[in-house]
Amino acid sequence: MASQSTAHLHCMLFRSTFRKDFAQTAGATFVALFTIIVTTVLVRTLGQAAGGKVDNAEVFTLILLGGLQYLPAALVITVFIAVMGVVSRAFKEQEMTAWFASGVSLFSLVRPVLRFAVPLTVLALVCSVWLTPWAKAELDAAKDRFAKRSDVSKVSAGQFRESGEGNRVFFVERQSEVTKQVENVFVVDSKGDTRTVVSAARGSVEVDASGQPYLVLSGGRRATLDGTGERFTSTEFETYGLAIDNTLGAAPSFQLQHRRVDLLIADFSPAAQGELLWRISLPLSALALGLLAIPLAFVNPRGGNSLNQLFALLIYLTYSNIVSVTQSMVTKETLDFWVALVLPHASVLLMFYLLMVKRNRPAGAPLLRWRRPGRALDLQDVVAGQEIKR
């Protein structure tokens, strides 16, 4: 009775210790990964803003939406790295040896890993199914709205900006935030083979009776050159009006990556099945990889660093590529949706079980002498292993 109570106490202490280590390592890993993601998105977004492809006023929003796109993948990698790191450290510091001696086995890690990985898997599923599509839709809509804004509203002082149709280039030296007037304006307009260059001291936006906006320039010069280069005209003007594009609305997006999950299920075309498969498979891979990391994290304390970390990286990359390939095959109708959903994850779980049985087997014991999963190494197992070695 006392031995059972002691074993139960060891098991509880074992699980609580690893759950605490998993949580701490996962927190540090996720912060590092998300910082890298946000930094990458920041650099890319600032480059787009400098090039006039996105609105400077929406840079922070675009960075946030861009980071949310990669949140499910960050959670998956966090689970894998946390389990690998904690279990590997326990093997290196011979902590696992002490636990094995107290009556627990490698299979005892399954329960704390599941309790750690399941909540993150559910969170990744919510992000993958709802949050990430919404973030992608909002990100593309913001870029589309800026692309369809009026020409003058895109102008920033000291920068050359191209119009939405690509046939007009603006340059403004100064711009008043109060009066919305611009100073020292330079415009190059292209219509067919004719090039028109307009420079003016001042300019402002006015709207006629029909609602058409114009850029009204004052005190400037207009030069026109035809495509042959033989005809050139130059005139000075007091006021000169340029019609500007006023397409402010953004057309709704019908991309599958932006659709809600209920619309994908209602459609369930091959393309919709492929998108739905990706949204579900990515979070499920967190659970499968978390379990697979237990046997992959094995390190022989006397043998130095193990190559299992390298194998774990290759397995993760292979696993991700297989999920992508199955999505493509479902989209092309060469693989059934349910087979593609089950097969990759079932294969990883089978690999996990085989590796666990191998790691949990006494050294040199034959196949028939394998212990039952969850039973610690006892004296009979050790004696059997020594007899076989002899």
Residue 229 pLDDT more than 90?
no
Q: Computed from CA positions of residues 50, 53, 54, 57, in that sequence, does the dihedral angle turn out positive or negative?
A: positive
> What is the spatial distance between Cα 90 and Cα 83, in angstroms, rounded to a whole number?
11
Task: Give the residue-averaged pLDDT of 303-312.
Answer: 64
User: What is the C-alpha to C-alpha distance for residues 64 and 139, in angstroms, rounded to an integer?
Assistant: 9
Least confident of 52-61, 155-164, 166-175, 193-202: 155-164
Model confidence at 52: pLDDT above 70: no
For residue 235, what are its two tokens?
């005139």
Q: What is the pTM of this model?
A: 0.69
pLDDT digits (tens, 9 = 90+) for 107-133: 888 888 999 999 999 999 999 989 988
**Residue 54 near residue 48 (C-beta atoms within 8 A):** yes
Task: Please enumerate in sequence order all residues whose Cβ is within 8 A of that of 82, keeping only pairs 6 or more positions apart, or say none.
Answer: 22, 25, 26, 29, 116
pLDDT of residue 1: 46
What is the CA 70 to chain-centroid distance, rounded? Answer: 2
pLDDT reading at 197 higher than 90? no
How many Å apart are CA 104 and CA 341, to the nearest integer? 34
Q: Has residue 361 got a pLDDT over 90?
A: no
- Has residue 166 got a pLDDT over 70? no
Mean pLDDT estimate for the chain: 76
What is the per-residue pLDDT across 265-300, written as a single tens digit (0 to 9) for each? 888 788 888 888 889 998 999 999 999 988 888 876
